[in-house]
Amino acid sequence: MNSLWRGGLALILASAGQFLLTRYLPGLGESVDLFTILVVYYAVTRRQMSVMLIGTSAGLIEDVFTHAILGVNAFKKTLVGYLMGTLGSVFMLNQPLPRLGILFAATLLEAFTEVGLYLILGQHAVLPSAGTLIRQGIGNGIWGALIFWLVAKMD
Amino acid sequence: MSKSLSQRRPLLLLAGLLSLLLILMSYQVRTGEGDTVLEKALLNAAGPLVRAGSGSLAALADFWHSYAYLRGTRQENIQLRARLAQMEELGRQGEEFRLENGRLREMLGLQKDLQLPSVAAQVLTLGSSGQARMALINRGSLHGVRHNMAVVNRQGVVGRVISVGRSVAKVQLLIDPSSGVAGIFQRTRGQGMVLGMGERGCRMDYVSDLESVEVGDVVVTSGLDEIFPKGITLGVVRSVEEGDQLTKNIVIQPEVDFHRLEEVLVLLTLHEPEPELELGR
């Protein structure tokens, strides 16, 4: 399967998974962003160009369903993809702990990027509480590390 | 030279993508319209998929539950257990129908109370990404839903329609940080603007320090935003503090439980902007 199809399939799976989570397990759905996990997975395993394209696509899909301004998620996921990809090319991130760390960092970076974007666009911005950020960071970290492990087993 | 260009390619792509996205976002902010051509196209393309996916995923979940429930039972009890499971499922479905019936009756009551043309809709997904709080409903332009229409339920204001596809629409919830609704205290008639704060509920801005506000005061829509009709419940005052600019800091607890939204009512009325009067005529 070529990388384009793989990417498309990954996006469909992430969309369906996120939809299921928010619908049937809303508490978990708020703590886990499968699109972020997908982008970080690409960042640590693929080249930067693919990471950015998957980040933009994932963000746009997320924007259509969950955002008032089309492009906010796409912007932050593209940026996070690029930065995490850069980190991934410098450091070894093939162990669970560093991966958990990079997922946590990606979650924080996304939150701050969104607040920054809102301010740049002259919109009302609310920084999520520290508790929410930590919960989301840990949620993405644990679920992401688990998904990375599962995908590595399947490959 | 070419090596340097190939090295810079990711950075150029990043700059290109981010610039395009910034232009896209600034356009929406400038025009105040959520549904750009791109968003409309994406929503129309994804709408039927979500509707179909919603049904098939529910069927898949039911199938999985049945499978998990029956797995491991003894061979001789399979038929009896299956029958029992069916009866239980019927009972659960009956209970579900009863609850749904109650909710729909409430909707019907609300429809009659409001005396405004409206359409009932089911919430397909509740989305929260970062700060945003949105819902996707199963009614779109085919059912008369338009941009900026108010969405309510029995508890009060749910949000407003910000993007419309043919059979689905995106609703910006009251607690979304970009949301703003003109509010009025039911007790004192003091006015202000209710703004979303995500998971923390809402806050009410532009309320003078001289205004008498108490914890527990009910806030309803004032109708001044020309989106929501006057008198629909927004929430209850949770805390009041003195602000630093001659205004109060007021936190509002919305009446609507945004984690458990299932059925909503879209008010099919739009306040048309009044024609501008020309002076001297």
Measure in Å the smallest separation between the Cα of B178 and chain A Cα atoms. 6
pLDDT of B146-165, one tens digit each? 989 999 988 899 999 998 98
* CB-CB under 8 Å, B53 with A19: yes
pLDDT band at B73 (very low <50, low <70, confident <90, very high): low
Burial of A127 (0-12, 13-18, 19+ CB in 10 A): middle
Task: Tally A–B CB contacts below 8 A.
Answer: 144
* CB-CB under 8 Å, A70 with B24: yes
pLDDT of B202-260, one tens digit each? 999 989 888 889 999 999 999 888 889 888 999 999 999 887 778 888 999 999 988 88
Task: Please name the residue ranges forming H helices in A1-155.
Answer: 3-24, 26-31, 34-45, 48-66, 72-90, 96-120, 130-154
| Percent of residues, chain B, with pLDDT higher than 70 | 79
Among residues B172, B181, B178, B269, which one has the least CA distance to residue B224?
B181
Is any Cβ of chain A less than 8 angstroms from the Cβ of B178? yes
CATH topology of domain A3-154: Arp2/3 complex 21 kDa subunit ARPC3 (1.10.1760)
> How confident is the model at residue B281, as a pLDDT?
37
Mean pLDDT of chain B: 80
Among residues A22, A119, A138, A59, which one has the least CA distance to residue B53?
A22
Query: If you search the block for the tokens 């996921």, which residue do you land on?
Result: A77
* CB-CB under 8 Å, B57 with A19: yes
In this prediction the pTM is 0.68
Is any Cβ of chain A less than 8 angstroms from the Cβ of B33? no
* ipTM of the shown complex: 0.82
Q: Are B163 and B169 in contact (CB under 8 A)?
A: yes
> How confident is the model at residue B130, as a pLDDT?
67
* Residue B275 DSSP class: P
pLDDT of A42-70, one tens digit each? 988 888 888 999 999 999 988 887 777 88
Which of chain B's residues have a Cβ under 8 Å away from the Cβ of A72?
A: 25, 130, 132
